[in-house]
Amino acid sequence: DDPLPNGYGRWATVRLRRLRTGTAVSPAVRAKFERCASKTDAEREHADDGSCRRCATGQQATSAHLLWDCVELSRTREEATRKLQPKLRPGC
């Protein structure tokens, strides 16, 4: 049981907990909800497909993709990782 790092505000803490528990609503999950809620075939046809709009590779915009794989977010990911204490960095 790893505690969350200190210094985050309320909503940042909520987002971190949702990511940790697999309950974050990513664009891919939201798109799935929207397709399920669509009442007509035309609505389903025009619903968002959940693909990543940042890298446009066709990958689904899941939490894992946005956090670890999206090439357009690599700089942000690297900057955020550098701010962490070495023992808290991914892969440690």
Number of domains in the chain: 1
Per the domain annotation, does 69 fall within a domain?
yes
Range of the structural domain that residue 52 is part of:
25-87
Q: Torsions phi, psi of 60, nearest 5?
A: -70, 140
- At position 79, the amino acid (one-letter code) is E
Within a domain: residue 44? yes
- Residue 27: exposure state from Cβ atoms within 10 A (0-12, 13-18, ≥19): buried
**Domain annotation covers residue 20:** no
pLDDT tens-digit series, residues 47-69 = 789 999 999 899 999 999 999 99
Digit-coded pLDDT (tens) for 9-39: 999 999 999 999 999 999 999 999 888 888 8
Identify the bridge partners of residue 51 per DSSP, sorted by sequence position: 60
Is residue 83 in some structural domain?
A: yes
Q: Is the pTM of this model over 0.85?
A: no
Residue 55 belongs to some domain of the structure: yes
